[in-house]
């Protein structure tokens, strides 16, 4: 049979585990509150950004929620249709600057 000292040690151990569980639950509740506050903050920022974008759209004459306006139509097979233009890429060199071979 167990002695009183063993019983007291088990009771202390159980009390310590209960306190640890309560601290863990309190920490989890605080984390949940912080997470909820962050979600609310980000939601308010996102709503404000959407309102500003709608205002900018009205300023330039675009309806809210309409697709973005693209440039003029491009005929198939033209450089602009392929994504390359004569001005894309690095600037041309004259042949007598750095990077030329055999000069």
Q: Report pLDDT digits (tens) over 66-103.
A: 666 666 666 666 655 555 555 555 555 555 555 555 54
Q: Report pLDDT digits (tens) over 6-60.
A: 989 999 999 999 999 999 999 999 999 999 999 999 999 999 999 999 999 999 9
Closest alpha carbon to 72 in 59, 81, 62, 82 = 81
- % of the chain residues with pLDDT over 90: 49
Would you kindly state where each structural domain of the chain is located, as residue ranges? Answer: 4-62
* DSSP string of 10-70, one letter each residue: HHHHHHHHHHHHHHHHHHHHHHHHHHHHHHHHHHHHHHHHHHHHHHHHHHHTPPTTPPPP-
pTM: 0.44
Q: Is 30 exposed, middle or buried (0-12, 13-18, 19+ CB in 10 A)?
A: exposed
Q: What is the pLDDT of residue 62?
A: 74
């Amino acid at each position: 049979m167990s002695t009183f000292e063993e019983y007291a040690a088990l009771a202390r151990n159980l009390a310590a585990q209960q306190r640890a569980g309560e601290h863990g639950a309190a920490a989890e509740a605080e984390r949940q509150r912080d997470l909820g506050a962050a979600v609310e903050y980000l939601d308010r920022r996102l709503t404000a950004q959407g309102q500003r974008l709608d205002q900018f759209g009205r300023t330039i004459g675009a309806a809210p929620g309409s697709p973005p306006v693209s440039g003029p139509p491009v005929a198939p097979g033209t450089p602009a249709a392929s994504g390359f233009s004569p001005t894309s890429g690095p600037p041309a060199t004259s042949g007598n600057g750095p990077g030329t071979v055999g000069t």
